[in-house]
Amino acid sequence: MGVTIQNVTGSTAMVIWPTMAICADSFYSIMYHPNRNNMLSGYSRKNFQKEERVPASRSSFVVENLTPLTTYILCVTCQSANPSSDQCRIFHTLEEDPASASNKIKDVALGIWLTSSILLLIIAGILLYSCLHIWYRNRRERVEGQNMTSDPDKGEAWTIKSHTPELFNRQGRLVQSVEESILFLKGSATGQSSR
């Protein structure tokens, strides 16, 4: 069949195969798994761990998520048939690119940071709600306490209308006592001057 493997990296490889007339109305099956003993043995479909189905219109496929520094056996067949030796190839993945390893670490760190940020926002929201709830309750109790009268039996709120006559009476008594004090002082002053 003439299967070739190209552009092998630490985690990907491109497989290319010639089109087959018998697969025109079907699909190609790409089967692969790590090959521990580097031998082309056991071509049964059951021996392969992974299988990808590709439309018959294509003649290449990029295999992804491979393990770096690993030997693989890969076969391409029509309609998931058992492969023959000319439909299989052995290839070896390269060492993982340091840039891609660094990107994976950055992705994990970003995921952890986003999760922590969301949790902190939720906690801050709960704390803010609790503080506002306590503040509102204390404020309401304070306002209710200020509105109560000095006479708890009446149970009515203090208003200027209900206490205006009382204020005028107090004010009148105060003015009267000031006038009496002034008259007393005048009388005392004139009595001392006549002596």
Instruction: Give pLDDT tens digits for 53-82.
Output: 999 889 999 999 898 999 999 999 888 788
pLDDT on residue 21: 79
The answer to whether residues 132 and 168 belong to one domain is no
- Mean pLDDT across the stretch 175-191? 76
Token pair of 27 as six digits: 């699909």
Cβ atoms within 10 Å, residue 193 = 7
Instruction: Return all residues near 152 (Cβ < 8 A) that are at least 6 apart.
Output: none
**Residue-wise pLDDT tens digits, 81-108:** 888 888 889 999 998 777 766 777 888 8
Q: What's residue 195's pLDDT? A: 53
Residue 195 lies in a domain: no
**59 contacts 20 by C-beta, under 8 angstroms:** no
Q: Is residue 194 part of a domain?
A: no
pLDDT of the residue at 141: 85
Question: In which domain, by residue range, is 49 found?
Answer: 4-96
Q: Are 4 and 86 in contact (CB under 8 A)?
A: no
- Note whether residue 20 is domain-resident: yes
Q: pLDDT band at 166, cuts 50/70/90?
A: low
Of 74, 68, 34, nearest in space to 54 by CA:
74
Strand pairing category for 27-34 and 13-16:
unpaired
Residue 36 belongs to a domain: yes
Q: pTM for the full model?
A: 0.49
35 domain residue, yes or no = yes
In angstroms, the CA 39 to CA 62 distance is 23
Pair (74, 22) in one structural domain:
yes
Residues 9 and 85 in one domain: yes
pLDDT over threshold 90, residue 50: no
pLDDT band with cut points at 50, 70 and 90 for residue 128: very high
Q: 1-10, 105-114, 120-129 — which one is most confidently predicted on average?
A: 120-129
Based on the fold, state whether residues 171 and 124 are members of the same structural domain: no
11 and 92 co-located in one domain: yes
State the total domains in the chain: 3
Residue 81 CB neighbours (<10 A): 13
Tell whether 115 and 84 lie within a shared domain: no
79 and 9 within one domain? yes
Pair 72, 113 in one domain: no
Residue 33 shares a structural domain with residue 87: yes
- Calculate the average pLDDT of the chain: 81
Tell whether 90 and 110 lie within a shared domain: no
- Which of the two residues, 167 and 55, has the higher pLDDT score? 55
Looking at the fold, whether 125 and 58 belong to one and the same domain comes out as no
Q: Give the E-state strand segments of 38-188 in sequence order.
A: 50-55, 60-63, 71-78, 88-92
The radius of gyration of the chain's CA atoms, rounded to the nearest angstrom, is: 48
pLDDT of residue 154: 53
Share of the chain above pLDDT 70, in %: 76
